[in-house]
Structure 1
């Protein structure tokens, strides 16, 4: 049957005006999984004035990998990042996109993290020690600040702490206005945001100018790569694209990394047996060197299982450039689509007893089959996924070695919010004290 003769996907029942907005503003992963179980691999949702086609399950992931380049664009969903901060990689397609990704990947590699390991771990240890004695530490906020410091030092050699508030508020406003739809795009014309945007772009240009005038002589980092980068035709990128490349290192991954840290801490507090194993593993060795991280199976299992249960990117937003057939339904040109790549994470056919938090799961087959996809699948998979996993192991190892953390109100259930990405929200607070009995290892 021709594509134009097929029916559109079924619509998920909602409430007047709001549609499906309320469940999608909370635990969006839970909503997508529950709806997939009820309605199958493709359906339509409506949230306020926006509508989306949701493609979910193993077949959706395969479709994104095999056909995503031909029928999707991310220019509408992620165009705000390019328009506001010149982050061109999010909107390009084909050869230009692959080439720019390669340039950026060279500046966010594990080798670079290894070269700056002592500096990254020094700020990690110093920050975690500063939390001691706080009876109600706001977890997400503090992990965002830590992640910003870690990433900017690793990628650029310098901390961005002095500009953290400005960077975070401006970046999250763009995400909320252009991707999640929480605010109308008109907020990006507010004078306060326009001033902040101008200052952030000037900050990126100044960082590049300083590096050009004063090379570090060390391994080439993201600033060095941006200065030397050429496009797919061998021509230098214009200054604004170079500035966008630099900004990727200052805040592009802050939320993803911080949310993962937050969910890992929650998992440890809710599963004492996992905390005991992780702590024993950390205490069994000496300093947390980069090389030692390879031999910490409990911590690696904690990272992977947290990403399964609490994926940072449960859906990849795209716009259809050419009508196509998916599972017998017509997906029309111009429709906004969310490929819910992480839905298989909570399906028993892929992960037995998916409700059980199990750090001993074997993820090798699931990765190969693309049903384990915490950072999406296909050509737009998160560039910093590998570094994120390494930093998560190191950060949680340092935390459990240095601190004792408790939930002030353990009876309070976790309330996940979806803006700008799935996270435990402002209500997630912990009481922090020094772990007196821990060995005094140097990091």
Structure 2
């Protein structure tokens, strides 16, 4: 029985230094050097990496048979009641379906005017700033957009608490950046208690004052939700459902917005096309589906800078993959976005091309910015729509240029691949009229 080979590393740290930066590029480079299966070590963590088209197909076709998410994502359930991350089989399918109805594009469409108004208000605050911290501002924007779309009200007052606590949980439970004892720090425990209290209060407020008219939102779905056997979910799970959009969405959206802006600044021809498209009439919700340049920008950015370069799992029973034996108990990371950088799937992959055939690549499971299989990101559809809308709204309102054009982008891997605090831009006003 042959184990996958070990990727070369350095004493003590193993592969940690390379994986702390552009982890997607690390997966691609190591796949080219070592093939579709190899072992990595980062400090106290060890993984088998499965990569390439066959790895994606294996996860899609056999993932539920041989993998569990409990070890990698159990912390999200223990800390915030986000049970969907650890369930398998029928209970998992049922809870995903319940959550999906509360994260739908219909909610964004129903509250489009409110989302636009809040987005434009925040964009106006950016004007005149010579060194605006891009990731931070986009995180605040994404939090406002999601809270309005998913619940009908803003969560701005809780933003700092939400961000710090959620990012720490990700760093501890998924990335393994900090020891588990970190989650016993008094400051974190206070933040966690505040977040859970916020979620429960929102649910109680909605139960006491139900909404009338419009589609049912995330709070409505959480209040009414029953499990696969028709039994009401306990309150901690309902609170986790209410928080799901914030948790899964804020950083995913903010990092995508940031990378899209970077791509525009690096590709003037794309910037010109997307700006002209954004300017072509009022930005009503129905027009978002008829903006091919903006959609291409979002999809190509997701190809080059995927928000989920890999899906972490634990092996529940031995299996064979591409001539290697993977035994029960091993931690595995399926690097689902490696095919994004392979020329057999995306010709000239180093070129930023918004006119690629993403539909065929998605169908073949080689375009997988949100993973593949039963644990694909629930908010993927809303993420793509909001990214098109947000960049169009920004371009209609602002002129953005790099603060330090000579400084290269430095990607950091945690709590998700992002451009980091060094990415800053200069912002000037362009228009003041409403975009709707």
With structure 1 as the length reference, what TM-score do the two structures score?
0.97
Does the residue aligned with 2:373 lie in a helix, a strand or coil? coil
The residue number in structure 2 matching 1:21 is 16
The residue number in structure 2 matching 1:152 is 147
The residue number in structure 1 matching 2:338 is 343
Equivalent of residue 263 in structure 2, options 263, 267, 275: 267
The residue number in structure 1 matching 2:326 is 331
Are residue 220 (structure 1) and residue 216 (structure 2) matched? yes
User: How far did 1:96 drift?
Assistant: 0.3
The residue number in structure 2 matching 1:109 is 104
Are residue 177 (structure 1) and residue 201 (structure 2) matched? no
Gap regions ≥5 residues in structure 2: none
CA distance, structure 1, for counterparts of residue 432 and residue 298 of structure 2: 24
Are residue 289 (structure 1) and residue 304 (structure 2) matched? no
User: How far did 1:369 drift?
Assistant: 0.4
User: How far did 1:116 drift?
Assistant: 0.7
The residue number in structure 2 matching 1:401 is 396
Equivalent of residue 246 in structure 1, options 228, 242, 249: 242
The residue number in structure 2 matching 1:206 is 201
Segments of 4+ in structure 1 off by > 4 A? none
CA distance, structure 2, for counterparts of residue 28 and residue 408 of structure 1: 26
Asked if the contact 1:156–1:249 (Cα under 8 Å) also holds between the matched residues in 2, the reply is no
Are residue 96 (structure 1) and residue 96 (structure 2) matched? no
The residue number in structure 2 matching 1:143 is 138
Asked if the contact 2:170–2:415 (Cα under 8 Å) also holds between the matched residues in 1, the reply is yes
CA distance, structure 2, for counterparts of residue 7 and residue 361 of structure 1: 39
User: How far did 1:252 drift?
Assistant: 2.5
Asked if the contact 1:283–1:439 (Cα under 8 Å) also holds between the matched residues in 2, the reply is no
Asked if the contact 1:57–1:343 (Cα under 8 Å) also holds between the matched residues in 2, the reply is yes
Does the residue aligned with 1:52 lie in a helix, a strand or coil? strand
The residue number in structure 2 matching 1:3 is none
The residue number in structure 1 matching 2:273 is 277
User: How far did 1:365 drift?
Assistant: 1.2
Q: Map Cα deviations across residues 146-203 of structure 1 (whole Å, 9 max, x no partner).
A: 0011011111111111000000000000000010011001000011111111111111
User: How far did 1:117 drift?
Assistant: 0.7
Are residue 163 (structure 1) and residue 158 (structure 2) matched? yes
User: How far did 1:250 drift?
Assistant: 2.9
Asked if the contact 2:109–2:285 (Cα under 8 Å) also holds between the matched residues in 1, the reply is yes
Q: Map Cα deviations across residues 71-90 of structure 1 (whole Å, 9 max, x no partner).
A: 00001101110000000000
CA distance, structure 2, for counterparts of residue 393 and residue 250 of structure 1: 19
Are residue 392 (structure 1) and residue 387 (structure 2) matched? yes
Are residue 426 (structure 1) and residue 421 (structure 2) matched? yes
Asked if the contact 2:146–2:245 (Cα under 8 Å) also holds between the matched residues in 1, the reply is yes
Gap regions ≥5 residues in structure 1: 1-5
User: How far did 1:409 drift?
Assistant: 1.1
Are residue 310 (structure 1) and residue 305 (structure 2) matched? yes
Q: What is the Cα-based RMSD across aligned positions, in Å?
A: 0.9
The residue number in structure 2 matching 1:361 is 356
